Amino acid sequence: QVQLQQWGAGLLKASETLSLTCGVFGGSFSHYAWTWIRQPPGKGLEWVGEINHSGNTNYNPSLKSRVTISVDTSKTQFSLKLSSVTAADTAVYYCARATDRMGVEYWGQGNLVTVSS
């Protein structure tokens, strides 16, 4: 069974860089899009971006100038960095496994990241 377990700092100050990592356990690491999705408190879901096992990325244009997603295939992990955070970046961040054909299937447990001013 596929499991995604994520970790990272939960409290940041404005202008700092958000950093989260997601470990993948079970299943293949190839042939999938390793994805980040976020959800501000009480609001809807927003796709942040993705990376495949070869390192090819797609980002949400609304965040593109600040976001970096990287992958470490040897550790079956992928990471999210979001620079220059503000209070608007306060959200639960989810990692997920997806494919172009099937969309998002498996999710991590979510991490609440709070940005204080």
Partner 1 sequence: DIQMTQSPSAMSASVGDRVTITCRASQGISNYLAWFQQKPGKVPKRLIYAASSLQSGVPSRFSGSGSGTEFTLTISSLQPEDFATYYCLQHNTYPWTFGQGTKVEIK
Of residues 53-72, those binding partner 1 (CB under 8 A): 58-62
Stated length of the chain = 117
Contact call for residue 73 and partner 1 (CB under 8 A)? no
- Taking the least distance from each CB to partner 1, the nearer of 7 and 16 is 7
Strand-pair partners of 37: 47, 94
Of residues 3-42, those binding partner 1 (CB under 8 A): none
Give Dmax over CA atoms of the chain in angstroms: 41
* 3-state SS, residue 99: strand
Nearest to 80 by CA among 44, 37, 42: 37
- Taking the least distance from each CB to partner 1, the nearer of 28 and 109 is 109
Among 1, 13, 31, 44, binds partner 1 (CB under 8 A): 44
The site that binds partner 1 (CB under 8 A) totals a number of residues, namely: 22
Cα separation, 37 vs 28, whole angstroms:
21
DSSP 29: S
Contact call for residue 102 and partner 1 (CB under 8 A)? yes
Nearest to 106 by CA among 20, 25, 10, 43: 25
Among 15, 84, 109, 116, binds partner 1 (CB under 8 A): 109
Contact call for residue 105 and partner 1 (CB under 8 A)? yes
Applying CB under 8 A, the residues found at the interface with partner 1 are 44-47, 49, 58-62, 94, 98, 100-105, 107-110
